[in-house]
């Protein structure tokens, strides 16, 4: 959600902080600000809105140490008053904070009784005043004492006009430190560090660190600690839109390459899978729980369905925030937890609860150094690279591909079925390119959908999670109220909303439910709704019923969701473009939801 950035070194802190904030814009935000230490003390600049509004407010100045944050409002509305950084009464201490302080109301009233004056509605401001209360010249000690009073979650960054170090701490919210030569950088996520350093260290829950231009010192539970240094494989070029107008479109076009790379990494020539560390087949598995939030939940739904098709016992899916695992002694149960960032608060909490209930756990994530990755038994990295647009595209497809490969490894079909399925998998990247080449047809389809305030998507079987993801994309980037339904459910209520101003998008795949879905199309047609059919099967009857048919390449029906998902992403993109929506930064949304 919020993106924190801090710098200490010998270079211009102003420019580096503003650039860093731009690189964490994808996390979603509604206000931003920076604090820079100068000869005259701390200089604080804030704005409601995006970094381009902040930049002209910040004059050039001599300052080589500073902090900043892009804020996504949780407590207190989006405004300059509530934007970070927040300062103490003296103006000598400033903080930026990502997370929730659950006991802030009690602490704020206590601070007010002690004479502290507050200038915002946020929970975060109380942290600055707590540090002020305990500050006697030792900033790290004051921060440590303040943390003991705080309940909730935080990625915290503190600067003082009286200190040569920045102080940072984390609890259930990510902090990564970039290690440079004569300079160091602190951030919520790696993109803020790109171009400055390739060496990073991730703080763990309960860590507190002091960061100067020359060194980083970490404490855990008041004892010195060390954190492993990792080398970042991403580059600053990953953050460039290149020839594309939007990151979302660029990331759609990257999907064939990403799936090709995943397959080449995990599948050997012929029909063999590359040897990997994950194995849950040591003894019979009693149940498989797939869970995630948002887009990741749709991937989890797909995973549960795909594993069931392969014969896995009791595979089911759930929204991570809504499932509470129970103990079942003697059973071999696994939880497969899907999260793009690996920092989704509800998914991390479920991982911990599942472990306590006796589950073994696998994380399917794009960030193998994430908080989720550190609390599970096994990691399945989706290898999608940096995704900048708030709305997921390539990370979703990478999740589906990773779950398919995991399923085939753990529950392989017999030899007669495995070979043809793997061969169809190998063809998926080329077929994805064919889907992307249909962009003009999908743009015309968007012209039928984009004028409407509402739309329905209908599907059956393995396409239902993809329809739900397509509906989410229309909500997220095109601001269309779209709902996805199993085709058989449309007549149980939603039919009341059908009409000439409510388009229906049908995902029609050549599987066992084809005839029933065809009947539903006829029922929709009778109600006057415009119909767009996305299908892999040419059918004259469908051509006659639909206002437009998008014909996709054929593949194994179990893999068809991969192609359908990309078609829906392109459709949503053109709907958003035609409606004039801010595609890469939708209102009120955050890329990484790190609070409950």
2 noted as active-site residue: yes
Omega of the bond leading into 9 within 30 degrees of 0 (cis): no
Spot the catalytic one: 2, 32, 575, 581.
2
Q: Compute the distance between CA of residue 303 and CA of residue 567 in angstroms, rounded to an integer.
A: 20
- Distance (Å, whole) CA 467 – CA 159: 47
The SS3 of residue 287 is: strand
> Which member of 37, 431, 473, 591 is catalytic?
591
Question: 408: phi > 0 → left, psi -120 to 50 → alpha, else beta; which?
Answer: alpha
Q: What's the gap between Cα 399 and its chain centre? A: 12
Instruction: Please give the backbone phi and psi of residue 292, each rounded to the nearest 5 degrees, phi first.
Output: -175, -175
Residue 533, SS3 per DSSP: strand
Where b means 16+ CB within 10 Å and e means fewer, 135-144 reads beeebbebbb
Taking the C-alpha atoms of residue 130 and residue 263, their distance in angstroms, rounded to an integer, is 52
Cα–Cα–Cα angle for 296, 156, 172, rounded to 5 degrees: 35
Contact 468, 295 (CB under 8 A): no
For residues 160 and 168, what is the distance between their CA atoms, to the nearest angstrom? 12
Distance from C-alpha of 228 to C-alpha of 95, rounded to nearest angstrom: 26
Q: Kind and range of the H or E element at 565? A: helix 560-579
Calculate the dihedral angle through the C-alpha atoms of 341, 587, 482, 508, rounding to the nearest 10 degrees. Answer: -50
- Phi first, then psi, for residue 108 (nearest 5°) are -65, -45
Tell me if residue 460 is catalytic. Answer: no
Q: How do 199-202 and 154-160 pair as beta strands?
A: unpaired
Catalytic residue positions, numbered: 2, 591
């Amino acid at each position: 959600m919020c993106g924190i950035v801090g710098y200490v070194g010998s270079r211009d802190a102003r420019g580096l902080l503003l650039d860093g904030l731009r690189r964490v814009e994808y996390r979603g935000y509604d206000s931003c600000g920076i604090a820079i230490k100068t000869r005259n003390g701390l200089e604080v600049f804030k704005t409601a809105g995006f970094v381009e509004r902040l930049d002209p407010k910040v004059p050039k100045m001599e300052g080589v140490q500073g902090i900043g944050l892009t804020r996504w409002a949780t407590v207190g509305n989006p405004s300059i008053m509530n934007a970070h950084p927040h300062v103490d009464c003296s103006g000598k201490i400033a903080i930026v904070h990502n997370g929730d302080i659950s006991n802030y109301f009690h602490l704020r009233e206590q601070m007010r009784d002690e004479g502290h004056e507050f200038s915002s509605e946020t929970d975060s401001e109380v942290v600055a005043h707590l540090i002020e209360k305990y500050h006697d010249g030792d900033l790290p000690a004051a921060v440590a004492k303040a943390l003991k009073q705080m309940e909730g979650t935080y990625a915290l960054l503190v600067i003082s006009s009286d200190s040569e170090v920045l102080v940072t701490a984390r609890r259930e919210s990510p902090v990564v430190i970039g290690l440079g030569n004569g300079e160091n950088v602190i951030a919520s996520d790696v993109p803020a560090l790109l171009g400055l350093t390739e060496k990073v260290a991730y703080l763990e829950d309960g860590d507190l660190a002091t960061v100067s231009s020359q060194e980083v010192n970490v404490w855990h539970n008041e004892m010195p600690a060390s954190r492993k240094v990792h080398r970042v494989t991403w580059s600053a070029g990953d953050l460039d839109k290149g020839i594309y107008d939007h990151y979302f479109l660029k990331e759609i076009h990257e999907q064939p390459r990403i799936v090709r790379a995943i397959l080449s990494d995990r599948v050997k020539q012929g029909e063999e899978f590359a040897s990997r560390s994950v194995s849950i087949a040591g003894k019979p598995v009693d149940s498989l729980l797939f869970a995630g939030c948002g887009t990741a939940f749709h991937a989890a739904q797909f995973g549960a369905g795909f594993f069931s098709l392969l014969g896995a016992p009791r595979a089911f899916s759930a929204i991570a925030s809504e499932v509470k695992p129970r103990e079942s002694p003697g059973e071999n149960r696994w939880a497969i937890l899907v999260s793009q960032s690996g920092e989704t608060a509800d998914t991390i909490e479920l991982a911990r609860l599942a472990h306590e209930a006796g589950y073994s756990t696998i994380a399917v994530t794009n960030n193998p150094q994430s908080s989720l990755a550190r609390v599970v038994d096994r990691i399945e990295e989706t290898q999608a690279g940096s995704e900048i647009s708030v709305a997921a595209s390539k990370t979703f497809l990478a999740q589906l591909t990773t779950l398919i490969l995991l399923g085939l490894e753990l529950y392989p079909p017999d030899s007669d079925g495995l070979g043809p399925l793997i061969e169809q998998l190998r063809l998926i990247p080329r077929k994805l390119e064919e889907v992307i080449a249909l962009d003009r047809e999908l743009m015309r389809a968007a012209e039928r959908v984009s004028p409407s305030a509402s739309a329905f998507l209908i599907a059956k079987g393995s396409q239902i999670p993809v329809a739900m993801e397509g509906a989410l994309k229309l909500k997220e980037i095109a601001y269309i109220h779209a709902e996805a339904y199993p085709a058989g459910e449309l007549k149980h209520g939603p039919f009341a909303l059908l009409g000439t101003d409510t388009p229906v998008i049908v995902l029609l795949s050549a599987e066992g439910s084809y005839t029933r879905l065809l009947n539903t199309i006829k029922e929709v047609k009778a109600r006057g709704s415009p119909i767009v059919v996305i299908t892999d099967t040419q059918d004259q009857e469908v051509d006659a019923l639909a206002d437009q048919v998008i014909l996709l390449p054929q593949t194994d029906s179990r893999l068809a969701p991969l192609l359908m998902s990309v078609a829906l992403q392109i459709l949503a993109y053109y709907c958003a473009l035609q409606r004039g929506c801010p595609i890469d930064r939708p209102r009120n949304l955050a890329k990484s939801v790190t609070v409950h």
